[in-house]
Amino acid sequence: MIRVDDLHKHYGAVHALDGLSLHVEPGVVFGFLGPNGAGKTTTLRILTGLARPTSGSVRVAGVDLAQDGRLLTKRLGFLPEEPAFYPWMTPSELLDYLGRLHGMAPAERRLRVKDLLEMVNLASAGKRRIAGFSRGMRQRLGLAAALVHQPEVLLLDEPLSALDPAGRKEVLDLIGSLTPRCTVLMSSHILADMERICTVIGIIAHGRMLVQAPRQELLERYAQPVFVCTGEQVEAMERWAKDIGKEAWVTAVQMEGNDVRITARDVGAARREILRSIVANGITLQRYEEAQPSLEDVFLQITGKEAAQ
């Protein structure tokens, strides 16, 4: 449903995309990951026809964008990171207006608007002015707007960033329910949510695809043992994390609050040295766990290797 081959996009001397290739099969949720500045937004703008590539080929839902991108309108839905609306409209008016733009009959529009508002949990706000909506409500309305014409391909740029945990769960469940009728490409920084919903993952950096594979295959291929230690004192854990990160058997160290996650290239050394070091530093642990590697661990490992080259 999406095929990109040797895509380049130059802004003067800046190469936003440098030979990017990606292939997305029908009916999957494709997780599009990369550090800031990797080229994700540029790629999405090209896929929607909002920007033209310097070179390379792009096909979306069978449409060659170099030949006639106008054919893409009925086949593609797009939710930008910060969707914009006419603030004086209501959600019902907006979705009805979009339905008219797509040539839908009045009876079909009424039914579609009702279904979409219920789908994104905005039925009770259907007659309110959009000007008073929170960012999370705008994000859910943007998703409904992208789905008005039941597109074959849906592009989502950071669709979860404005939502609280309950809202993220609702939207994730909704995205998951769209397949196999719709193919989804989703860019997000919330890797735990991406791991939950995406069936295939692509990781890019410096405008190039580093790896693309089914989620489980990616976790198995790049999995390294991860040890989680939770201490009582943040300051003591910070000092210890800096010291343990210098050990030769450590690949990466992350700290969030009192939690220290250690990725180890040598599991035997990790099992011997972590607890010995904890005791030597006089740290009281609340938790010690040998955890399953997450998509975030894999992402940091792959992008870290790229940055080191």
Q: What is the pLDDT of residues 276-285, one digit of tens each?
A: 999 999 999 9
* 224-291 classified as CATH 3.90.1150.10: no
Residue 125: phi and psi, rounded to 5, are: -110, 15
Give CA–CA dist 231/178, Å, rounded: 42
Specify the pairing of strand 29-33 against strand 200-205.
parallel
| Under-70 pLDDT residues of the chain | 305-309
Cβ neighbors of 3 (< 8 A, separation 6 or more) are 22, 23, 24, 57, 58, 59
pLDDT tens-digit series, residues 17-52: 999 999 999 999 999 999 888 999 999 999 998 999
Q: What is the per-residue pLDDT for 239?
A: 92
Give the residues across from 255 on adjacent strands. 260
- Closest to 85 in 3D by CA, of 167, 40, 146: 146
Q: What is the per-residue pLDDT for 71?
A: 82
CATH level 2 (architecture), domain 2-220? 3-Layer(aba) Sandwich (3.40)
Give the residues across from 56 on adjacent strands. none
Kindly list the strands in the beta sheet with 14-24, ordered across the sheet, starting from the edge strand earlier in the chain: 14-24, 2-11, 55-60, 63-64
pLDDT tens-digit series, residues 47-81: 998 999 999 999 999 888 887 777 888 899 999 98
Give CA–CA dist 187/202, Å, rounded: 10
Residue 184: phi and psi, rounded to 5, are: -120, 130
Quick one: DSSP state of residue 128? Answer: S
Q: What is the per-residue pLDDT for 306?
A: 58
Specify the pairing of strand 2-11 against strand 14-24.
antiparallel
Helix axes 106-119, 91-101, angle to 10 degrees: 130
The model's pTM:
0.81
One-letter identity of residue 84: A
| Cβ-contact 55, 62 below 8 angstroms | no
Q: What is the domain partition of the chain in residue ranges?
A: 2-220, 224-291
